[in-house]
Amino acid sequence: MSNYPLAFAAISLAALPLARAQTPAAPASPAAVAATLRADTPGPVVNRHIYGQFAEHLGRGIYEGVWVGPDSPIPNTRGIRNDVVAALKALDIPVLRWPGGCFADEYHWKDGIGPREKRPATINRHWGGVVENNHFGTHEFMDLVEQLGADAYISGNVGSGTVQEMMEWVEYLTSGADSSIANLRRQNGRDEPWRVPYFGVGNESWGCGGTMRPEYYADLYRRYYTFIDKSYDPAHPLYRIACGANGGNLAWTEVLMSTAGRLMNGLSLHYYTLPTGNWGAKGSATEFGEDQWFAVLRRTLEMDAIITQHAAIMDKTDPAKRVGLVVDEWGTWYDVEPGTEPGFLYQQNTLRDAIAAALNLHIFQRHADRIVMANIAQMVNVLQAMILTDKEKMLRTPTYWVFEMLKVHQGGTSLPVELQSPDYVFGDRKIPAISASATRAAGGTVYLSLVNTSPREPFTIAVTMAGVTRASVAGRVLTAGAMNAHNTFDLTRRTRSCRRGSTALH
Ligand code: AHR
């Protein structure tokens, strides 16, 4: 809330959105909804890593978006652009996943160390077939997370790599020994081992990571686990994350948990929201009517049932909830912006994405007992991004502002919110019009975030605070005059911007 004119208060209400324009006029007096925030019956802590990010070697996600090189006219620190880092630091990013995605299972980490001019040029087969010069590698990534103040989550190569390669990467990153591999790191300019808390064993091994059956991957996981078992930093043992399911593939989770559950710390889950549900024609990021507004929010809300189902399977073999569910890819996925390379997955980001992001974050907070991390796909220039760049220009998307507003929930204690939501009806389907989530921060401040999914109907929400003694309240609103409002590089189009109060969100 740093640059918002209201002072901090005991209770902060953040409401998203009250978008009414472009659709039939809103009723004269908004419907009243009663809610009770139960600060007297706290739930589990919301792991701050739920607000995690993901950056893959994909399109302009790394190159241009983050890495411009030390000789670039774009202001940078050791090759990493300053404007992007400054904007991301304001989000208090807890964790960053890298280098993929699908790219992770074709990435050989030794290509990305040593003098940059000597690094090999390889082909990024998955994403446009472009040449990867490997200028952004292990040292550059660890520099980025250190500049951001985030934890590193490295995704290792199972699909086309070897056990030895992964084992040596962990040693290179985390060993303080006088070994050849650790000394190679020193020769390359880094004396001290890095702290790498999270390590993923393969990505989408059921698909781009190797088209494996769950039984086969579970055995492979057991093998890899054995050799990356040791962290060289005893104070910080590696949190090993096995490749989990795609959406509602419950059979994958059944096999993984029963065969390898006791050997993993975390199990991943991927779920993307497509307006149409059709990968061949997903729908536009900016040109849509209320049908696709509604479809995106309805499909986003399916995340709740998907998590519930996977968590129930995990409960069977892990009732103590020792294994964390890691939703390390989520977000909206549209047809690419017209005229851009299809393999670069570049899409605009509107008020609809802001609502979808907030709904997802609320769902993760509701499942705080099992979800230890989530990583939106992806941080810059790819899919549902925080930031878009156009060479030296940069803009913050509506999704960025949701992460900025809701970051106050990071690490808070979840507080139930009792609410009978009215329905948002479209055609013969309906979803809840209101989503609410609350936490109490360590300092005692209670934060409540509210989402209105209806582009037509505003609501007045009267909140009773059970267990809250002080009553000073401050609030922020993110909204816009159109469902497809978005920020552009051309500031003259300010009227289409997503707005916070009267301030355009650039
Ligand atoms: O985020 C884009 C891609 O989506 C990732 O590379 C892959 O893991 C998923 O299919």
Q: Report yes or no: 11 and 446 within 8 Å, Cβ to Cβ.
A: yes
- Spatial distance between the Cα atoms of 13 and 6, rounded to a whole number of angstroms: 12
Starting at the earlier edge strand, list the strands of the sheet with 499-500.
413-415, 434-440, 446-452, 11-16, 473-479, 499-500, 503-504
- Spatial distance between the Cα atoms of 272 and 275, rounded to a whole number of angstroms: 10
3-state helix, strand, coil in the chain (%, to 5): 30, 25, 45
pLDDT at 178 over 60: yes
Name the 3-class secondary structure at 104. Answer: helix
For residue 27, what pLDDT is reported? 58
Mean pLDDT of 21-36: 70
Q: Report yes or no: 275 and 292 within 8 Å, Cβ to Cβ.
A: yes
Task: Return the structure tokens found at 126.
Answer: 């998955």
For residue 30, what pLDDT is reported? 86
For residue 17, what pLDDT is reported? 38
For residue 492, what pLDDT is reported? 38
59-90 core/surface letters (b: 16 or more CB in 10 A; e: else): bbbbbbbbbbbeeeebebeebbbeebeebbee
Name the 3-class secondary structure at 496. Answer: helix
Query: How many angstroms separate the alpha carbon of residue 374 from the centre of ligand 1?
Result: 14
Positive or negative torsion for Cα 420, 423, 428, 429: negative
pLDDT at 232 over 90: no
Q: Which ligand 1 atom lies nearest to the CA of residue 272?
A: 4
- pLDDT category, 491, cuts 50, 70, 90? low
- Which of 10-14, 47-51, 99-103, 230-234 has the weakest average pLDDT? 10-14
Amino acid at 412: G
For residue 493, what pLDDT is reported? 42
Amino acid at 234: P
For residue 233, what pLDDT is reported? 80
Q: 335 vs 342, 382, 397, 450, 483, CA distance in Å?
A: 8, 12, 17, 29, 18
Give, rounded to a whole angstrom, the gap between the first and last alpha carbons of the chain: 16
Residue 261's φ and ψ, nearest 5 degrees, are -55, -40
Between vectors from CA 291 to CA 479 and to CA 404, what angle results, nearest 5°? Answer: 25
Please, where are the H alpha helices in 261-391?
A: 290-317, 351-366
Residue 132's φ and ψ, nearest 5 degrees, are -100, 115
CB half-sphere exposure, 217, CA atoms < 13 A: 30
Locus of tokens 């109060």: 501
What percent of the chain stands above pLDDT 90?
87
Mean pLDDT of 249-259: 98
Q: Which ligand 1 atom lies nearest to the CA of residue 378?
A: 1
Mean pLDDT score across all residues of the chain: 91
Q: Which ligand 1 atom lies nearest to the CA of residue 104?
A: 6
Residue 365's φ and ψ, nearest 5 degrees, are -65, -35
Q: Which ligand 1 atom lies nearest to the CA of residue 377?
A: 1
DSSP labels, 168-207? HHHHHHH--SS-HHHHHHHHTT--SPPP--EEEE-S-TTT
Amino acid at 298: R
State the pairing for strand pair 459-466/446-452: unpaired
For residue 25, what pLDDT is reported? 52
- Spatial distance between the Cα atoms of 433 and 446, rounded to a whole number of angstroms: 23
Positive or negative torsion for Cα 241, 86, 233, 321: negative
Query: How many angstroms separate the alpha carbon of residue 102 from the centre of ligand 1?
Result: 6
What pairs with residue 35 in β-bridges? 419, 463
Which residue owns the Cα nearest ligand 1 atom 8?
A: 101
Q: 25 vs 102, 455, 484, 486, CA distance in Å?
A: 45, 10, 17, 21
For residue 8, what pLDDT is reported? 24
For residue 28, what pLDDT is reported? 64
- pLDDT category, 214, cuts 50, 70, 90? very high
Locus of tokens 């809300």: 301
Query: How many angstroms separate the alpha carbon of residue 487 from the centre of ligand 1?
Result: 25
Mind listing the pLDDT tens digit for each residue in 458-480? 999 999 999 988 778 899 999 99
Q: 144 vs 77, 177, 237, 356, CA distance in Å?
A: 10, 24, 22, 27
What percent of the chain stands above pLDDT 70?
91
For residue 501, what pLDDT is reported? 45
Mind listing the pLDDT tens digit for each residue in 36-90? 999 999 999 999 999 999 999 999 999 999 999 999 999 999 999 999 999 999 9
For residue 236, what pLDDT is reported? 83
Which residue owns the Cα nearest ligand 1 atom 9?
A: 101
- Which of 3-12, 101-110, 200-209, 328-337 has the weakest average pLDDT? 3-12
What pairs with residue 477 in β-bridges? 15
For residue 242, what pLDDT is reported? 98
Q: Crossing angle of helices 214-227/250-260, nearest 10°?
A: 40
- pLDDT category, 145, cuts 50, 70, 90? very high
> For a pocket test of ligand 1, which of 54, 60, 102 has the largest count of ligand atoms closer than 8 A to its C-beta?
102
pTM of structure: 0.93
For residue 451, what pLDDT is reported? 97
Of the candidates 501, 506, 463, the one whose C-alpha atom is nearest the C-alpha of residue 487 is 506
* Ligand 1 interacting residues, C-beta cut-off 6 A: 56, 100-102, 203-204, 329, 377-378, 383
Which residue owns the Cα nearest ligand 1 atom 3?
A: 101
The H-or-E segment that residue 220 falls in is helix 214-227
Of the candidates 140, 145, 170, 168, the one whose C-alpha atom is nearest the C-alpha of residue 232 is 170
The separation between CA 354 and the C-alpha centre of its own chain, rounded to angstroms, equals 13
| Domains parsed from the chain with CATH numbers | 2-43+415-504 (no CATH), 61-411 (3.20.20.80)
pLDDT at 144 over 50: yes
Q: Crossing angle of helices 290-317/250-260, nearest 10°?
A: 30
> For a pocket test of ligand 1, which of 273, 326, 329 has the largest count of ligand atoms closer than 8 A to its C-beta?
329
Starting at the earlier edge strand, list the strands of the sheet with 31-38.
417-419, 31-38, 459-466
Query: How many angstroms separate the alpha carbon of residue 330 from the centre of ligand 1?
Result: 9
Which residue owns the Cα nearest ligand 1 atom 6?
A: 101
